[in-house]
Amino acid sequence: MIFKSILAGAVGLAAGLQFTAPAISQETVKVGLIATLTGPQAASGRQKVAGARLYMQLNGNMVAGKKIELIIKDDTGVADVTRRHAQELIVNDKVAAIAGFSLTPLALAVAPVITQAKMPAIIMTAGTSVITERSPFFVRVSFTLPQQSVPIAEWVAKNGAKTAVSLVSDYGPGIDAQNAFKMRFEEKGGKVLEQLKAPLANPEFSPFLQRAKDLKPDALFLFVPAPTAGALMKQVIDRGLTEANIKVIGTGDITDDDQLNGIGDSVLGLVTSHFYSAAHDSALNKKFVAEFKKANPGMRPNFIGVGGWDGMHAFYEALKKTNGDTDGTKLVDAMKGATWESPRGMMTIDPQTRDVIQDVYIRKVEKRDGELYNIEFDVVKQVKDPMHK
């Protein structure tokens, strides 16, 4: 009896095997998404995961005959945790690529790991220029701070500012933003009176804002990582800086679409430069925003969400190009020079630097249908990072 049923089971198994053989040979290709889902920067991880998932939802999970599986890890914003997840994803999960990286130190932490493993790593957020130079396996679909800061320096100089003060978070992207801003503003005849830096952790901006106010510059240039924007802008408003005859400007991180409605009407009219606005006027972006909202009730996509979307797109297209070959070097080569339409507009991966070339928009905070948006009114076309040699 037992023997019979084992036999029957074995026959069934054999038949089943034969029947499902094509499905078994259908390989799964894994992508590890390391996001910051807890801690002070958790808003970034939420956006990134939502953007990546939406891309897969709307574009399917079959690429070059392989099934794409996304493995999501929370690095809590701590570089050691990012590195450990990267190692485990590579060694245990055998992923074909990793992606994510909110804060610059998290991206830098995986550079030696990906170089050694020849593992493509798609940067969806972090914006310090030097990151892509730290490993030939980095590809960036987000932005760099110098790329965003130069256009706003030009805009504010053109609009009559002769003096400026900058205030940034004291780490990679802040330093990059501040230096690029100063370089171009002074090339255009302006003078940066002081470059102020506030600690990244537990930010207390008030003393720096008071110092900036006392210097009475024509303009105050600001950068903080987007999840910190609400805290910064509240203190900017409380100090009366937006009314003090000082033109407050910055990169779009300070008015990002996730935080903006919470910051409130006091920032109406504030001008920033950035590569993405939820109000960007294109058919693809309208669809992206509508689908994002439908899939994530109560959320509106920001530039980090778009980074999640475009990071998946870069991977899908590369895998198509290699006909499903997951060799890391081949995948990175396939991403070099790739051009596509993103919800942000057209973008290209620079084949020399593996960094993103894209339009940078000048935008102003306005109210539309009862919500605050960054409304684009000028554009610098296809900007390369100015720091890469």
The site for ligand VNL (CB under 6 A) is made up of 41, 44, 102-104, 125-128, 173, 225-227, 253
Minimum distance, C-beta of residue 138 to ligand VNL, in the bound complex (Å): 13
Instruction: Calculate the CA 356 to chain-centre distance.
Output: 11
User: How deeply is 127 buried, as exposed, middle or buried, from its count of CB atoms within 10 A (0-12, 13-18, 19+)?
Assistant: buried
Minimum distance, C-beta of residue 389 to ligand VNL, in the bound complex (Å): 20
Identity of the residue, 302 or 342, whose beta carbon is nearer to ligand VNL in the bound complex: 302
What SS3 class is residue 294? helix
In angstroms, rounded to a whole number, what is the distance separating the alpha carbons of residues 163 and 155?
13
Q: Could you write out the DSSP letters of every residue in 118-153?
A: T--EEESS---GGGGGS-TTEEE-S--HHHHHHHHH
Identity of the residue, 44 or 82, whose beta carbon is nearer to ligand VNL in the bound complex: 44
Tokens at 291, concatenated: 């689908």
Beta strand 356-368 with 345-349: parallel, antiparallel or unpaired?
antiparallel
Minimum distance, C-beta of residue 103 to ligand VNL, in the bound complex (Å): 4
Identity of the residue, 170 or 378, whose beta carbon is nearer to ligand VNL in the bound complex: 170
Identity of the residue, 232 or 332, whose beta carbon is nearer to ligand VNL in the bound complex: 232
Q: Which helix (H) or strand (E) holds 31?
A: strand 28-35
Minimum distance, C-beta of residue 312 to ligand VNL, in the bound complex (Å): 19
What SS3 class is residue 371? strand
- At 98, the amino acid letter reads I
Those residues whose C-beta lies under 8 Å from the C-beta of residue 323, and which sit 6 or more positions away, are 64
Identity of the residue, 141 or 319, whose beta carbon is nearer to ligand VNL in the bound complex: 141
Identity of the residue, 129 or 326, whose beta carbon is nearer to ligand VNL in the bound complex: 129
Q: Which residue is nearest to ligand VNL (CB)?
A: 225
Minimum distance, C-beta of residue 24 to ligand VNL, in the bound complex (Å): 41
User: Max alpha carbon distance in the chain (Å)?
Assistant: 94
Q: What is the DSSP letter of 255?
A: G
- At 273, the amino acid letter reads S
Cβ atoms of residues 77 and 36 within 8 Å: yes
* CA distances in angstroms from 315 to 52, 63, 121, 177, 203, listed in the order given: 11, 10, 10, 28, 36
Identity of the residue, 127 or 190, whose beta carbon is nearer to ligand VNL in the bound complex: 127
Identity of the residue, 226 or 232, whose beta carbon is nearer to ligand VNL in the bound complex: 226
Minimum distance, C-beta of residue 272 to ligand VNL, in the bound complex (Å): 12
In angstroms, rounded to a whole number, what is the distance separating the alpha carbons of residues 249 and 86?
36
